[in-house]
């Protein structure tokens, strides 16, 4: 791939194709490869007619889905910029000017990722008036699980679910929540699911080098959750998506597994594995975000048949205030239409969008019927946008 600003071509739309999207009419790819799921009430094979009631293949239905509840949870320990200045060479002014962050929450004591995920989920279920056993699916978007094999089934257990609903993790770092919304939409619109819980949760404090002022100042721990519910197509609240990834940029942001300390892959048994702390090239990540995110949002708006004038709120992954401001300026969103709580929580990875959404809903800022352009971006590199309607 030809390089631009380190690793991206000037025109992503022409080089990275096809992008994946969902519009109100069904599932689609940007090049029109798969424009719509068309379903029949019967299946014909070898001249034999089999009714849908006789077939074991579930009938795909053209349904809509809407957001009906949200919740969030943060650790009790608040770490200020002044606190960080006691352990690394930095200051409140240095951090706030460069990032917009003043405080972040960090797990302590018996707090962990599952505690936060369960608390956020319970709040979302309560708002949605949905019981745990009414859920058909739980998606936990996280890159920092308590168990390497995933935490979603354990969250299911701690919520008190008794019907063995499907529960699984999604790993896509700071883009995870947007991919969770997309997956939930697919399960509902194409799989006949009724209620889906999507949780974004990360405890980045466990993977931060607290002696590196370039990264430790950025991250915090949190969880956010939403409940999506099936509805008639005309009430659809998940209007479109635009999703991408490009491993060419992975070298600029990641937490790779540490190399074998013995220096030889032939030695047996292998050493116990561990992961490095977060490694980030801040300048390249900034360039990536301010180029790719506006294009992705514009693409999602186009798929939804909308423009920025139809959008009530811009809600971006809370990574850095400079990125948020640059994207908003590029898309001509006025500051009063941009949702940001970065100053209080820092970058909470997959939790940042649902955490900010929950605060905006509960404060009365986001009201039923409001249209939101949301975008996540981060390690992978992955990035994606969603045009959604609240309530």
Show which residues are catalytic.
Answer: 174, 317, 347
Rounded CA-CA distance 52/45 in Å is 13
Helix, strand, coil distribution of the chain in percent, nearest 5? 35, 25, 40
Rounded CA-CA distance 2/8 in Å is 7
Q: Any residues with CB less than 8 A from the CB of 227 and at least 6 apart, and which? A: 67, 68, 69, 70, 124, 125, 127, 128, 130, 195, 196, 197, 198
When computed from its CA atoms, the radius of gyration of the chain, rounded to whole angstroms, is 21
Q: Any residues with CB less than 8 A from the CB of 263 and at least 6 apart, and which? A: none
**Is the distance from CB of 282 to CB of 213 less than 8 angstroms?**
no
Q: Any residues with CB less than 8 A from the CB of 319 and at least 6 apart, and which? A: 174, 218, 285, 289, 342, 347, 352, 377, 378
Tokens of 189: 């619109």
**Residue from 319, 279, 280, 313 nearest 297 by CA:** 313
Rounded CA-CA distance 338/346 in Å is 16
Q: Please say whether the dihedral angle defined by the alpha carbons of residues 294, 389, 245 and 26, taken in this order, is positive or negative.
A: negative
Rounded CA-CA distance 273/265 in Å is 13
Question: How many beta carbons lie within 10 A of that of residue 88, not counting itself?
Answer: 14
Question: How many beta carbons lie within 10 A of that of residue 362, not counting itself?
Answer: 14
């Amino acid at each position: 791939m030809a390089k631009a600003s380190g690793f991206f071509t000037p025109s992503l739309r022409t080089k990275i194709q096809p992008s994946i999207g969902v519009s109100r009419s069904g599932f689609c790819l940007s090049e029109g490869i798969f424009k719509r799921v068309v379903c029949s009430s019967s299946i014909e094979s070898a001249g034999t007619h089999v009714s849908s009631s006789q077939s074991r293949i579930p009938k795909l239905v053209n349904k809509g889905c809407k957001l009906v509840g949200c919740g969030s949870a943060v650790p009790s320990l608040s770490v200020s910029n002044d606190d960080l200045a006691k352990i690394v060479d930095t200051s409140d002014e240095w951090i706030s000017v460069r990032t917009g962050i003043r405080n972040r929450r960090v797990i302590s004591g018996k707090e962990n990722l599952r505690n936060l995920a369960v608390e956020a989920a319970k709040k979302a279920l309560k708002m949605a008036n949905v019981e745990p056993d009414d859920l058909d699916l739980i998606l936990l978007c996280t890159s920092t699980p308590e168990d390497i094999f995933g935490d979603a089934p354990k969250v299911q257990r701690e919520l008190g679910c008794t019907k063995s609903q499907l529960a699984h993790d999604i790993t896509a770092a700071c883009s995870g929540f947007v991919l969770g919304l997309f997956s939930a939409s697919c399960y509902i619109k194409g799989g006949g699911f009724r209620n889906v819980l999507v949780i974004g949760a990360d405890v980045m404090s466990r993977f931060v080098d607290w002696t590196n002022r370039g990264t430790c100042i950025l991250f915090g721990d949190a969880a956010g959750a939403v409940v999506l519910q099936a509805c008639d197509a005309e009430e659809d609240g998940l209007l479109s998506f635009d999703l991408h990834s490009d491993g060419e940029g992975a070298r600029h942001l990641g937490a790779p597994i540490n190399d074998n300390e013995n220096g030889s892959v032939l030695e047996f048994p292998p050493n116990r594995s561990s992961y490095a702390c977060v490694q980030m090239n801040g300048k390249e990540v900034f360039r990536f975000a301010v180029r790719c995110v506006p294009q992705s949002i514009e693409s999602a708006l186009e798929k939804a048949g909308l423009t920025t004038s139809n959008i009530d709120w811009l809600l971006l992954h809370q990574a850095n205030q400079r990125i948020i401001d640059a994207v908003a300026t590029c898309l001509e969103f006025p500051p009063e239409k941009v949702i940001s709580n970065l100053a209080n929580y820092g970058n909470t990875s997959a939790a940042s969008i649902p955490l900010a959404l929950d605060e905006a809903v509960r404060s009365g800022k986001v009201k039923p019927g409001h249209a939101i352009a949301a975008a996540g971006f981060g390690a992978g590199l992955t990035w994606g946008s969603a045009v959604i309607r609240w309530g």
